[in-house]
Each structure stands twice: as C-alpha cells, then as structure tokens.
Amino acid sequence: MVFKVVERSKPVAGWTSKGCFLFAFIILAVVCSCWLPLIVQADDTASATYAERCAVCHGPTGRADTPVARKHNLKPFNSPDFQNTSEEAIVDIILNGGPQKRASHQFSRKGVTPESAAHLAVFVKQLSRQ
C-alpha cells in the first residue's frame, strides 16, 4: 500500500519543480486579481475614512451630536440645507475647505484624493438619512 503511494507520487514530484511553480504562480495570480478590487475598495471605503477622519466632529451618523459639533454649532448632514448642497460643493468643502477655504477641511493636503472625496460626498449625504 505504502509503496504504491510513493511510486505514484514520484512522477508528480518530478513534475513539481517547474510545472508546480508555474501552476502555483497562475493560481496566485488568479486569486490575487480576484481579491485586488476588494482590497482596494476596503482601503478606499468612504465609511472607513469617515469613521477615521470625520466622525470625531460630525458624529458617527453625521448628526452633529458631538461636543465639537455643539461647540461650533455644526449642522447635521440630514438638514435640508445640507441635503440641497450639490455633491461638487461638498467635494470642494472636503478638499479645499469650501468658498471660505477653511483650514480644518483642506483634506487635499492631508492625503484625501479627489476620488475619495467624491465617495465621501455621496456617503455623507446618505449617512444621516437612514
């Protein structure tokens, strides 16, 4: 019994050296290419960025229910005013601090790309609607 198994595995083992590496490489490439979009997405999710960089002031649900928000008289994201603000204007607020060029919101200088700002703009608009 044992003999048979060893004999059988021999040719396979011989094939291993080159073929198996290639095979493993192909599998790896396929698996990686499947996961890559997920990884990139997870890296770039607006909800993660929001939780990390915005929630401290705007509140986890965007309802301006934090001490900072009260202190600065921040409007909740579900206010009609904010809901009527265009996404372009929100992107501008996030990246450049809006028309007033608020230093606190010049996130383009703090590693937020125009792409993730666009995601964030959509995200914050929907955030407190639920």
Footprint of ligand HEC (CB under 6 A)? 53-54, 56-58, 68, 72, 74-75, 82, 85, 90, 93-94, 104-105, 107, 120, 124
Distance, in Å, from the CA atom of 93 to the CA atom of 42, rounded to the nearest integer, reads 24
In the complex, minimum distance from the CB of residue 54 to ligand HEC, in angstroms, rounded to a whole number: 3
**Residue reference for tokens 């790309």:** 113
In the complex, minimum distance from the CB of residue 15 to ligand HEC, in angstroms, rounded to a whole number: 54
| Smaller CB separation from ligand HEC, 124 or 128 | 124
> What is the Rg, in whole angstroms, of the alpha carbon atoms belonging to the chain?
25
Distance, in Å, from the CA atom of 41 to the CA atom of 44, rounded to the nearest integer, reads 5
In the complex, minimum distance from the CB of residue 86 to ligand HEC, in angstroms, rounded to a whole number: 11
| Smaller CB separation from ligand HEC, 11 or 99 | 99
CA angle 106, 108, 109 (to 5 degrees): 80
